Amino acid sequence: MKGPVAAVVFLTFAGMAGVARAESCTKSRDYILTNSSDLPQKPKIYQSLFRDCLDTTTLSNVQDAFILKKGAIAVLPRRDTVSATASTLAQFCERFPRGTLHFIGQKDRVKIANNISRVVDWSSSHSTSCEQIKGGG
C-alpha cells in the first residue's frame, strides 16, 4: 500500500508545482490587462503571450515564468549558469522563433519577490530576442 499512496502524494505535489507556475502567468497577464492603461501591445498579444508563458513553464530549467508588459516572457531559472541559460534560450527559441526571453538573475529575485507589478514592469532591455539570435532581427 505504501507504493501507490506515495505515488499519489508525489503526483499531487508535482501537479501543484505546475499550478503555481501557471498561476504566475495568469497573475501577470491579468495584472497587465486590468491595471495598465498604456499598453505597448494589443490585448490580443498578451493572450498569445499567456499561452507562450504557460508553455515556457514546462522547460526543464524554468522555475517560474511571467509576462512582461513590453511583450516578452521573463523567467526565473532553476540554475543560473551560462550553460543552463544557453540551453533554456535554445529551447525557448525553438518553440517561439519570434519570442523574446528575459532571465531574472539571482540578485534581481529579491527586487521583484512577491510583487507582480514590479515583475510585469521589469525592464526588458536585457531581453534576448530569438529573431536576433537566429539572424532575422
Nearest-angstrom CA–CA distance, 120 and 116 = 6
Q: Which of 46, 52, 48, 51 is nearest to 31 (CA)?
A: 46
**Average pLDDT for residues 25-37, to the nearest whole number?**
90
Nearest-angstrom CA–CA distance, 82 and 80 = 7
Nearest-angstrom CA–CA distance, 10 and 62 = 20
Does 31 or 11 have the greater pLDDT score? 31
Counted domains in the chain: 1
pLDDT at res. 39 = 86
pLDDT at res. 108 = 81
Domain extent, residue 126, equals: 2-133
Does 118 or 69 have the greater pLDDT score? 69
Nearest-angstrom CA–CA distance, 29 and 113 = 17
Which stretches does DSSP call E strand in the chain?
62-67, 73-77, 100-103, 128-129
Buried b (16+ CB within 10 A) or exposed e, 88-106: bbebbbeebeebbbbbbee
Chain mean pLDDT for the chain: 81
| pTM flag (> 0.75) | yes
